[in-house]
Amino acid sequence: MTKIQTQYNRRSFLKISAAAGGGMLIGFSWLTGCVSEGKNNEALAIPNEWFDINGYIKIGDTGLVTIYSPNPEIGQNVRTSMPMIVAEELDVNWENVMVEQAPLNTGFYNNQIAGGSQSIRKGWNPLRMAGATARRMLLEATAKELGVEVTALTVANGIIKEISGERTMGYGDIASKAVGIEVPEVVELKDIKDFKLISTSVKNVDGKNIVTGKPLFGLDFQREGMQLAMIQHPPAFGMKVKDFNEAEIKAMSGVSNAFIVDITVPEPGYFDEKGFLQLVAIVGKSTWQLMKAKKALKVNWEQVSELEDSEMHMKRMEASLASEMRESRKDGDPAAAFKKAAKVIERTYSAPFLPHNTMEPMNFFAHVTETSAELVGPTQTPQALEGSVSKLLGLPIEDVTVNMTRMGGGFGRRLYVHFGVEAAAISKKIGAPVKLIYTREDDMTQGTYRPAYLATYKAGLDENNNLIAFSVKGTGLPESPVFENRFPAGTVENYLAEKASTKTNITTGAWRAPRSHFTAGAEQSFLDEVAELAEKDPIEFRLELFDRAISNPIGNRNDYDAQRYAGVLKLVKEKSNWGQEMPGIHRGVAAYYCHNSYVAEVIDIAMEKNTPKIKKVWCAVDCGIVVNRDAAKNMVQGGVIDGVGHAMYSQLTFKDGATQESNFNQYRLIRHSQAPEAIEVFFVENDIDPTGLGEPGLPPAIGALANALYQATGERHYHQPFMSFKSVKG
């Protein structure tokens, strides 16, 4: 067993217990409806009394256990996998566990954010500790009760037993006594080989609620006396609202108020990204009436900055790429190596702006009074929202509460907090509780988009087809996509990475696997071409490079583990029977490391009626210990479909500062018939602490797709989207 120092004290437990018991979360009935149900027929009776053991665990007198899931749930399934980790160390039957969303409590919980695929990685130790600490306290309470030493007791599945004796104690029987026990300073964690729950497949705790249509999402939130609100933003980036036909709108049926709100917060931070700080707000009783009122709006806008378009965007990026760039890494002498290379290849790749398009449009509930603000809704970063609302209203942070609902998708969109801040501003103005709802058009035309990128890769081979020089330079609107210390850095003696960025007034932000979704596609399709030029098999070519990085790495800033990287490539090679001819099947491969996990993918394409059809995708994943096996597979499958879909079909284009696509009739997302027919996921089995999977499955899919398309059609794809690429790059 591993012993670890507990990192919290009795006082913080009490604080959170008071919060949890005091109704911060369960005080209003709507959220209680969102508690996941006991999961089998033998589920224990609902307790008469609950005992807060610590801020993660509440045990009822019948033995039923509630585990609080600390992080926002956006579909990455942490509401199941995080409590699983607690339940493992607590040693309780999963059937007797219920899950509740924890409230925002930055003093107690660690990292309450859904971003960067970090929930599991950063939660691993605190969650294990929470379970182990509670188990230890229950053991100590039992020892005291039975008059024996703790060492004379053993525990399994929520039942404590005397090792040499007959007496037993259920968690439900002793929970009340464990509450008073001193929190141990050091606790023992289970040996990984003793895990019973972790690495099995546990079904989504909200599965039943989802398939029966229970109100789980922010948009479903209801409160007595609540009004609805919608906003109208300027039609183009670079414009500002001046005034509108207020009297006419106010006179419309179902409209109770209409006004301009300003959501400027002092010292805005990263999560405050928003293009339009003044908005027309319309308040009323029904969504449909508000939609009609929006259509009747006559607003005067004024231009405040340049109105941009897609052609201008590409020109700016091209100029930036041609200009002096910032060198971010240099190994050896790339210029000399390229000069003496026998073969040199250079290719340029681009990707367009993308909206997130979570299926649930942005929305938030707010109830602001003179002295408090209560917010409920879908946010990936409740802490940032709390901070921004506190700044907007000039309220102390303690007087702002944020509760998280389940989210109909996040993908980075809900890291930005403006829609919560807007709801608060509207509620303050009308002095009543309100739920702000975006239409799809609102959502798509004022996003925090995935930036647009442009990058050039160059490689030099010697006369024996060894890679002797490699360079990458990349720019974007408004950031460079280049990760200078990622593969193939470290495997090539002469290496150069250069960065630049260009300006835009389009608002951008994190989008599932930021930058990696672009670099993986570009770099991995480039390496496919380099391997071809070197007359080598694309997997063998990469494995040779990893061999170099293992035996003789160049530089000491390489941010990947070459063994694990090579490991996923070897696994995908084995599982997909790489190298075996299959009639009519054209294959492409890619591997990528990001967000602390390694994923290699092989995509099999067949041409059907002259159209490429993805028959199968093979994925090999190293994310350390797999917490919830089938759910982890689901995540990787989703990442593959999302990656393939956006690379093939999606782009957001601009004209006169406005997006040319505003709903799903113009903007293409992948649909059923275009999805791969099958996706198999295999894991590298090891005992390394787990890392996340919300993002890492997506980036390699783009490279593997481009490479498979080349095999199928003889055509290389350099510019996304591959299938409807039109005017953006001439």
Q: Are 340 and 536 in contact (CB under 8 A)?
A: no
Amino acid identity, position 570: K
Least separation, in Å, of the C-beta of 512 and ligand FES? 12
Task: Give the count of beta carbons closer than 10 Å to the beta carbon of residue 167.
Answer: 12
Q: Which of 52, 206, 498, 529 binds other proteins (CB under 8 A)?
A: 206
Q: Judged by CB under 8 A, does residue 215 bind other proteins?
A: yes
Q: Nearest to residue 119, comparing CAs of 679, 701, 633, 597?
A: 597
Binding partner at 206 among ligand FES, other proteins, none, C-beta below 5 to 8 Å by kind = other proteins
Q: Judged by CB under 8 A, does residue 357 bind other proteins?
A: yes
Q: Judged by CB under 8 A, does residue 676 bind other proteins?
A: yes
Q: Judged by CB under 8 A, does residue 297 bind other proteins?
A: no
Q: Which of 32, 40, 157, 663 binds other proteins (CB under 8 A)?
A: 663
Q: Which residues, at least 6 apart from 127, have a Cβ–Cβ distance to it below 8 Å? A: 56, 82, 85, 86, 89
Query: Which H or E run contains 156?
Result: strand 153-156
Q: At what angle do helices 629-649 and 516-533 cross, to 10 degrees?
A: 80
Cα 74 from Cα 519, distance rounded (Å): 25
Binding partner at 298 among ligand FES, other proteins, none, C-beta below 5 to 8 Å by kind = none
Count of residues that bind ligand FES according to CB under 6 A: 3
The CB-nearest residue to ligand FES is: 359
- Answer left, alpha or beta for residue 75, where phi above 0 means left and psi between -120 and 50 means alpha: left
Strand partners, 261: 279
Nearer to other proteins, 454 or 520 (CB): 520
Least separation, in Å, of the C-beta of 679 and other proteins? 5
Nearer to ligand FES, 184 or 409 (CB): 409
Q: Judged by CB under 8 A, does residue 207 bind other proteins?
A: yes
Binding partner at 325 among other proteins, ligand FES, none, C-beta below 5 to 8 Å by kind = none
Least separation, in Å, of the C-beta of 404 and other proteins? 13
Tokens of residue 573, six digits: 């090679």
Determine the 3-state secondary structure of 146 from DSSP. Answer: helix
The beta-strand segments (E) located in 650-695 are 654-655, 658-659, 679-683
Q: Which of 140, 642, 661, 695 binds other proteins (CB under 8 A)?
A: 642
- For residue 465, CA distances in Å to 255, 336, 458, 541 come to 71, 17, 15, 10
Q: Judged by CB under 8 A, does residue 77 bind other proteins?
A: yes
Binding partner at 204 among other proteins, ligand FES, none, C-beta below 5 to 8 Å by kind = other proteins
Q: Which of 48, 665, 714, 730 binds other proteins (CB under 8 A)?
A: 665
Least separation, in Å, of the C-beta of 421 and ligand FES? 25
Q: Judged by CB under 6 A, does residue 555 bind ligand FES?
A: no
Strand partners, 282: 230, 258
The DSSP code sequence of 371-409 is: S-EEEEE--S-HHHHHHHHHHHHT--GGGEEEEEPB-S-
- What helix, strand, coil percent values describe the chain, rounded to 5? 35, 25, 40
For residue 724, count CB atoms less than 10 angstroms from its CB and return exposed for 0-12, middle for 13-18, buried for 19 or more: exposed
Query: Which H or E run contains 528?
Result: helix 516-533
Q: Which of 319, 336, 359, 678 binds ligand FES (CB under 6 A)?
A: 359
Q: Judged by CB under 8 A, does residue 564 bind other proteins?
A: no
Least separation, in Å, of the C-beta of 360 and ligand FES? 8
Whether omega for the bond prior to residue 488 falls within 30 degrees of 0, making it cis, is: yes
Cα 346 from Cα 471, distance rounded (Å): 9
Q: Judged by CB under 8 A, does residue 29 bind other proteins?
A: no
Within 409-438, the residues that bind ligand FES by CB under 6 A are: 409
End-to-end CA distance of the chain: 62
Q: Judged by CB under 8 A, does residue 360 bind other proteins?
A: yes
Nearer to ligand FES, 66 or 358 (CB): 358
Q: Judged by CB under 8 A, does residue 407 bind other proteins?
A: yes
Least separation, in Å, of the C-beta of 81 and other proteins? 12
Residues that bind ligand FES (CB under 6 A): 75, 359, 409
Binding site for other proteins (CB under 8 A): 74-77, 201, 203-204, 206-208, 210-217, 219-220, 222, 228, 253, 285-289, 291-292, 357-361, 406-411, 439-440, 630-631, 634-635, 637-642, 645, 663-665, 669-673, 675-679
